[in-house]
Amino acid sequence: MATLEIRDLHVSVGDGSDGAKEILRGVDLTVKAGEIHAIMGPNGSGKSTLAYAVAGHPKYEITSGSVTLDGEDVLEMSVDERARAGLFLAMQYPVEVPGVSVSNFLRSAVTAVRGEAPKLREFTKEMKRAMDDLSIDPAFAQRSLNEGFSGGEKKRHEILQLELLRPKVAVLDETDSGLDVDALKVVSEGINRFSGGETGVLLITHYTRILRYVQPDFVHVFAGGRIVAAGGPELAEELENEGYEKYVKAGVSA
């Protein structure tokens, strides 16, 4: 059973004239297989910083704390080693890669994670099944990666990666951003298919609308670079009705 453990994580960004700025100020979080954790909070609270720091983005300097996956030190791993160990990050703004088709990218990613190249015919069938589940046109596989994709297409592609890579823990950074209602339902169904069993999900979002389709086991409120409140799905409803103001104040005073 996969377990991602984050302990007293402090992260800083920037090395300009003003020096590095501390963004995360002691984050503690445990994500176990079969659990969906929703991270909610206002802009600038540190939600995306958490995602990128765990994934190994070089912009983010971890000044103290630890991150382990099944007891292994994630912070000692390179970015590709983290992916092979079972960590997955769905980015808020995926990068365009002209000239690299979706199918070639996915087969390369699957090869890297599984340690061997899948047979082309078997992979093609596997990819087609996953695309059908996400209502993705078969022609999509031949398009250049993220080039000219709509917001909904980018997000469906990320869930398609989840279906094929089957990571131990998926960190989804604002997967609901820019989605219309139909795309949101399809993406949510994909997350629900992926979650549970041997996998865990860390779902970062501003809004509760995706939580109408993806039922979280735990909701955590981020403010001032730390988790200031935690609860069940009822906490998301409270945030929908009352907003983040009292939690922002709690984060400032902490």
Helix runs in the chain, H state only: 47-55, 79-85, 102-114, 120-133, 151-165, 181-194, 233-242, 245-253
Lowest pLDDT segment from 125-134, 191-200, 205-214, 224-233? 191-200
Mean pLDDT value across residues 214-228: 94
Average pLDDT value for the chain: 89
The CATH number assigned to the domain holding 8 equals: 3.40.50.300
pLDDT, position 96? 79
For 126-171, write each residue's pLDDT tens digit: 999 999 988 898 899 999 998 888 888 888 898 899 989 999 999 9
pTM assigned to the model? 0.90
Who contacts 134 (Cβ-Cβ below 8 Å, separation ≥6)?
156, 159, 160, 163, 186, 187, 190
User: What is the domain extent for residue 206?
Assistant: 3-253
Cα angle, residue 52 at apex, residues 67 and 205 outer, rounded to 5°: 105
Mean pLDDT value across residues 28-35: 95
For 209-218, write each residue's pLDDT tens digit: 899 999 999 9
Give the separation between CA 182 and CA 159, rounded to whole angstroms.
Answer: 15
pLDDT, position 253? 58
User: For residue 254, what are its two tokens?
Assistant: 């902490």
- Domain tally, the chain: 1
Give the separation between CA 80 and CA 97, rounded to whole angstroms.
Answer: 18
